[in-house]
């Protein structure tokens, strides 16, 4: 039976039309689901009993179960159990500009980034749109707060689950529903060039972030398997094409790995690679895990890297460190749960 949270407003309108009913009922149901946050169809007060019984017959309204929750300063990490007993994660980060939720898009990941815990446990399946939606609903209900920003940077590669991710965006962006603005949503990709080109034609102003993590193919090949399929000679032109089409700035994520990609020479090379591109670089202190040998760069090294980029007129920030005490890096909590 299909989950009601998997339907866009348009799909719900089509459902009612096929059942010989009025399309406006889709708006009523959407508002009960996402504005008033009902947990049972019977809680809808301005919808006929006949319609409610039809919805109960055709859809489930189930969410997913929180099985672990860990808190640290300005961060809460959740482990969820899905209907098929697979596990996914979401991480809430409290910023001065709002509450940002990092959402998973797949169970596991096949991209093979060597520094990432998510990829250590291979992809089992894609998440359906509703399984992304209910991550947000569960966190908001658990903490009694409003999530203002979404980043698709949790377990999985969003562009490897493109259609379900786009459907998820339609649901959370809908002003009759969850109503999170496009500019408050960011999708991160490790560099699936065909999907970057496809996303350039998407008609909403959702932000794009590229997990770059290296200034050249030699280093990137060693730490990111995707670079062997889509090296920088393919990736960078695709990003420039995306910027030309959308007139939107791109973020380059750059995890600082000790003695791997953090030298001043790497910073100079990165500056040259990105020169003239409408972008900014987000330097990320690595969140270490016991399962992977990489270590994070020292604060002095990160600052020297930052200074070199600034000197070369590259817009750059250093991301705050979140949740090292609660295993907040992608896939850590799930990985430990499976191995305990």
Tokens of 64: 């997913």
The Cα 42–Cα 78 span in angstroms is: 29
The predicted structure's pLDDT at residue 329: 52
Each as own residue / partner, the long-range contacts of residues 52-61 (CB below 8 Å, 24 or more positions apart, any chain) are: 54/19, 55/4, 55/29, 58/1, 58/2, 58/15, 59/1, 59/2, 59/3, 59/4, 59/7, 60/1, 60/2, 60/3, 60/4, 61/3, 61/4, 61/5, 61/33
Whole-angstrom distance, CA of residue 94 vs CA of residue 325: 16
Cα(95)–Cα(91) distance, integer angstroms? 13
pLDDT at position 324? 55
**Percentage above 90 pLDDT, the chain:** 86
Set out the domains of the chain in order of their start, with CATH numbers: 2-60 (1.10.150.530), 65-339 (3.20.20.70)
Collapsing DSSP states into helix, strand and coil, what is residue 87? strand
Task: Tell me what pLDDT residue 290 has.
Answer: 64
Contact yes or no for 100/151 (Cβ under 8 A):
yes
Q: Report the C-alpha gap between 185 and 150 in whole angstroms.
A: 5
The per-residue pLDDT for 280 is: 95
What pLDDT is recorded for position 8?
Answer: 97
- Residue 185 above 60 pLDDT? yes
pLDDT tens string 190-206: 999 999 999 999 999 99
Instruction: In whole angstroms, give the CA distance from residue 24 to residue 30.
Output: 10
Please state the pTM of the whole predicted model. 0.93
Q: Which residues are catalytic?
A: 89, 330
150-155: average pLDDT = 96
Radius of gyration of the chain (CA): 21
Supply the pLDDT for residue 21. 87
- Check whether 336 has a pLDDT greater than 70: no
Answer whether 184's CB lies under 8 Å from 176's CB: no
The helix/strand/coil state of 117 is coil
Closest by alpha carbon to 74, among 284, 320, 302?
320
Q: Residue 166: name the closest of 185, 147, 146, 138 by CA.
A: 185
């Amino acid at each position: 039976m299909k989950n009601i949270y998997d339907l866009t407003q348009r799909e719900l309108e089509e459902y009612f039309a096929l059942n010989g009913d009025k399309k406006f009922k889709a708006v009523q149901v959407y508002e009960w689901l996402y504005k008033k946050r009902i947990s049972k169809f019977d809680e809808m007060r301005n919808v006929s009993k006949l319609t409610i019984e039809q919805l109960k017959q055709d859809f489930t309204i189930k969410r997913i179960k929180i099985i672990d929750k860990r808190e640290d300063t300005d961060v809460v990490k959740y482990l969820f159990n899905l209907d098929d007993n697979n596990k996914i994660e979401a991480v809430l980060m409290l910023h001065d500009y709002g509450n940002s939720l990092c959402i998973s898009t797949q169970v596991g990941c096949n991209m093979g980034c060597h520094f990432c815990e998510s990829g250590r446990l291979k992809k089992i399946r894609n998440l359906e749109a509703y399984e992304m939606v209910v991550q947000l609903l569960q966190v908001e209900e658990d903490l009694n707060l409003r999530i203002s920003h979404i980043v698709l940077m949790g377990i999985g590669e969003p562009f490897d689950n493109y259609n379900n991710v786009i459907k998820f965006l339609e649901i959370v962006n809908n002003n009759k529903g969850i109503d999170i603005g496009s500019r408050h949503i960011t999708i991160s990709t490790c560099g699936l060039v065909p999907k970057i080109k496809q996303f350039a034609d998407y008609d909403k102003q959702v932000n794009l972030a590229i997990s770059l993590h290296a200034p050249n193919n030699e280093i990137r090949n060693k730490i990111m398997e995707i670079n062997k399929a889509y090296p920088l000679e393919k990736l960078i032109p695709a990003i420039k094409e995306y910027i030309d089409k959308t007139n939107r700035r791109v973020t380059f994520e750059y995890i600082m790995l000790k003695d791997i990609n953090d030298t001043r020479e790497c910073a100079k090379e990165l500056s040259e690679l990105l020169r003239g591109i409408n972008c900014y670089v987000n330097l990320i202190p690595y969140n270490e895990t016991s399962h992977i040998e990489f270590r994070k760069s020292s604060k002095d090294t990160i600052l020297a890297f930052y200074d070199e980029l600034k000197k070369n007129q590259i817009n750059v920030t250093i991301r705050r460190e979140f949740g090292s005490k609660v295993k907040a890096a992608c896939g850590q909590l799930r990985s430990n749960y499976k191995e305990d």
